[in-house]
A = this chain, B = another copy of it.
Amino acid sequence: MAGRAVQKEFDDRSASIGSADPPILPHFERRLASAGNKASLTSIAPAIVSRRSIGTLQPVWADVENRQSIYVLEEGLAYSFTFLPGGKRHIDDIYGPGAICNWARFGSPEYKCNIMLKPNSRVAILDPARLQDALKDNLNLLMAIQRHELARTLRISQRVRALISLPAPHRLAIFLLDLREEYHLSGHRESWLPLVFTQEEMADLAGMTEVHVNRTLSKMVDAGELERRPGMYCLPNADRLERQLGYRRFGKGHSDASHA
């Protein structure tokens, strides 16, 4: 089903050596730390079923593979997606290093979603039941995760509102800001960011055409709102853009939520 994928097992040392110093899931740990978690993640080590290194673009279908697992991205980039009745694909959300790709499954096992892993990604696959066991004695950790995921939910709501109501340039700008924020949460601090998304993928996320994505990006470059190098992009005055679009970051200490 997934073509002849170059998929080799990622070596499992860090998980199997046990209670050692090198952190299991370092990116995940850093994210949770910035969400207020102080403890280490060794307690959830038993929940890790396996790890995978991804060579090529690779889908995880909700129906078939590992439908009962939770995916934590440790390296690379991923997104969740759905097919609409017409056969069109819609991209629901994007995930950078340290993100949980389908946290909803933790609380509601009937929740399913397709995940696409970009090349050069690494994921840890967790068992929800065992994770629940591990978190039972670790309420602070659980709450940190929930705070982290609430921020994601709020960010999705913000983006979705924009995608429904605003014109294409704004829609794309919001996507780029979200991508920027996702990298930021992953510890990326440079102003130039890797743009691993295809224009077709951006189209599927923003609800527009590949062609129109291309043209809109060009216009943003002309307007000085965007700079491009091969495989990279940069928002020269992101702050102004955020102010202009009323963009809010939910990751850090921003406590109040949506209104005008």
Contacts and interface: CB of A to CB of B under 8 A. Distances in A.
Contacts of A111: 150, 154, 257-258
Interface in A72-90: 82-86, 88, 90
How many copies altogether?
2
A113 B259 contact: yes
Contact of A258 (B82, B258, B259, B260): B82
Interface residues of A, number: 40
A113 B257 contact: yes
Given A84-B161, A165-B207, A246-B84, A256 B110 contact: yes
B164 A90 contact: yes
Interface string A55-81: 000000111000000000000000000
A113 B258 CA distance: 6
Contact of A84 (B88, B166, B206): B166
B259 A114 contact: yes
Contacts of A113: 257-259
A102 to B, nearest CB: 10
A200 interface: no
A237 interface: no
B164 A207 contact: yes
B146 A107 contact: yes
A112 interface: yes
A177 interface: no
Interface in A212-260: 244-246, 255-260
B256 A90 contact: no
Nearest to A85: B246
Contacts of A166: 84, 86
A162 interface: yes
Interface string A165-190: 11000000000000000000000000
Given A84-B166, A160-B164, A163-B164, 12 more contacts: A62-B257, A62-B259, A84-B165, A90-B165, A92-B161, A107-B146, A108-B150, A110-B256, A113-B257, A164-B206, A164-B207, A165-B207
